[in-house]
Amino acid sequence: MLLIVAALDFLDPKHILDWLGPFATVGLFLIVFAESGLLIGFFLPGDSLLFTAGLLSSQGKFGLNFPVILVGCFLAAVIGDQVGYQFGKHVGPSLFRRPNSRIFKQTHVDRTRAFFEEHGPKTIVLARFVPIVRTFAPILAGVGEMPYRVFTQYNVVGAFLWAVGITTAGYVLGTTIPSIDRYLLPIILVIIFLSVLPPLLEYRKHRKGTEPATEAEAFAEQRELEELLDED
Are 212 and 225 contacting, i.e. CB atoms less than 8 angstroms apart?
no
Query: Alpha-carbon distance 2 to 8, whole Å?
Result: 10
Buried b (16+ CB within 10 A) or exposed e, 185-196: eebbeebeeebe
pLDDT at site 134: 83
pLDDT at site 173: 87
Query: Alpha-carbon distance 41 to 27, whole Å?
Result: 13
Are 53 and 184 contacting, i.e. CB atoms less than 8 angstroms apart?
no
Q: What is the DSSP letter of 183?
A: G
pLDDT at site 113: 65
Are 63 and 157 contacting, i.e. CB atoms less than 8 angstroms apart?
no
Q: What is the DSSP letter of 101?
A: -
Per-residue pLDDT of the chain (232 residues; tens, 9 = 90+): 443 444 445 567 888 888 888 899 999 999 999 988 887 777 777 788 899 899 989 888 888 999 999 999 999 999 999 999 999 888 876 766 655 555 555 665 565 566 667 777 888 988 888 777 788 889 888 887 789 999 999 999 999 999 999 999 889 988 887 666 665 666 666 666 666 565 555 545 555 554 544 555 545 555 554 554 455 4
Closest to 37 in 3D by CA, of 164, 127, 112, 166: 127
| Angle, vertex CA 42, rays to CA 40 and CA 43, nearest 5 | 100
DSSP 105-141: -HHHHHHHHHHHHHH-THHHHHGGGSTTHHHHHHHHH
